[in-house]
Amino acid sequence: MTDPLRHQECETETQEADLPNVCVVTHPLAAAGENATRSLLDILSAITSVALVTADLPADSEIRDRHELVELTRKGAGDSVVTAAARFLLNQLRMCRVIAGRDEDVVLFFGATSYLLPIIAARLLGKTVLVEPRGDVPLTLRLNWEQQLPDRVAAVLAGAVRALERAGFAVAHGVVTYTPEMARQLDLHPESPSVYPTGARYVRTDEFRVHQPYADRDRVVGFLGRLDEEKGVRELAVVATQLPDDITFRFVGDGDLREWLEQDLAAEIEAGQVELTGWVDHDKVPQALNDLELLILPSQPTEGLPTTILEALACGTPVYASPVSGVPDVVRDGETGFTIDSREPTALAAGIERILDRDDLAAISENGRTLIEREYSFDAACERYRGILRSVAGYSS
């Protein structure tokens, strides 16, 4: 396994003369978006020259020290719909100005796929334009807006964002998705010459590996991530109360529902049937995943391909996940993990018991690790993006 940090140090030796330089453009970055963007920059900087244009980058982000950065503003997306809309438009104008002054051959809009004005501007400036969605942004926005606005209004606004995104797909030279299934769920055709359906992120397989042999693991299942509505945490709380006494359910992470979980599951926590670990530092995540027999992720269809799934499989931990977006290409039912048919708690609990009773889990654990080593290592990711950039290098406006 090649460490991406070492790649960064010697990038002048490894970058290839036949690959175009890349300017990555993103929307304001929260923690999850920052992690995905850092992953993409690590890959691109290992094979070519790359710069980032973004807004509201976390102050402690490693990106600041490791990559060329243009920060449009320190303001985020905004809390209200009106503020978010105003900043959305203003950031697009700022992006147009910055892109006009850049000399990179390729502009890659990462997550910012509905930023139509700078996408059009980049095309008019003779740049090769790629867009890479990170998930179903219009659906995510609709779910958030339904907390503030009438459902009909939220649906109309989300539809407008989806229309902008589709227009961006049409204007760009190419669309990059994490996996072929993610492309299909975005109504794109993986076989289309303008679609590049293999842009998934990588896993640091030297860190995320099997520390605890699968046969030696305790009967512990769990969830790792943000404790919020989108991740299905309320449903998992009910699941945790329905499992047999010999199965422990562990919540690893922190979030808005942490206090609610502590109150709602107080009896189960006292009895040792449920555990809440709280926040776990990133360097402790591999061990946290190695301590599980099964990871459960009943996510809503808003994400592209959760990093936690890739990291769990790298640690030899089978995953029981909703078959949304790019997940089915990685969580292959009965081979590397299992797909959730219903988010209803009783069905989820029954599914967990059924999975833990299988006698081939050790083999499934090995299959997951093998898949990550073969397709989602850092070197494999670099090779995928080499292919993408070579393919688009001949494009012109």
pLDDT in tens, 31-41: 667 888 999 99
Q: Which residue has the tokens 């109504």?
A: 187
Which of 8-22, 23-37, 93-107, 177-191 is most confident? 93-107
Average pLDDT, the chain: 90
Chain centroid, CA 364 distance in Å: 23
Whether the pLDDT of residue 186 is over 70: the answer is: yes
Whether the pLDDT of residue 291 is over 90: the answer is: yes
Whether the pLDDT of residue 11 is over 50: the answer is: no
Pairwise pLDDT comparison (32 vs 136), residue with the higher score: 136
pLDDT of amino acid 95? 96
pLDDT of amino acid 368? 97
How far is 169 from 186, CA to CA, in rounded Å? 10
Whether the pLDDT of residue 302 is over 90: the answer is: no
Decide if 112 contacts 53 (C-beta within 8 A). Answer: no
Tokens encoding 67: 């990559």
Decide if 205 contacts 381 (C-beta within 8 A). Answer: no
How far is 301 from 184, CA to CA, in rounded Å? 13
How far is 357 from 351, CA to CA, in rounded Å? 10
- E strands within 158-255? 174-176, 195-196, 220-224, 248-252
Which of 391, 217, 231, 204 lies closest to 314 in space, CA to CA? 204
**Percent share of the chain, pLDDT over 70:** 94
Least confident range from 134-138, 261-265, 278-282: namely 134-138
pLDDT of amino acid 17? 62
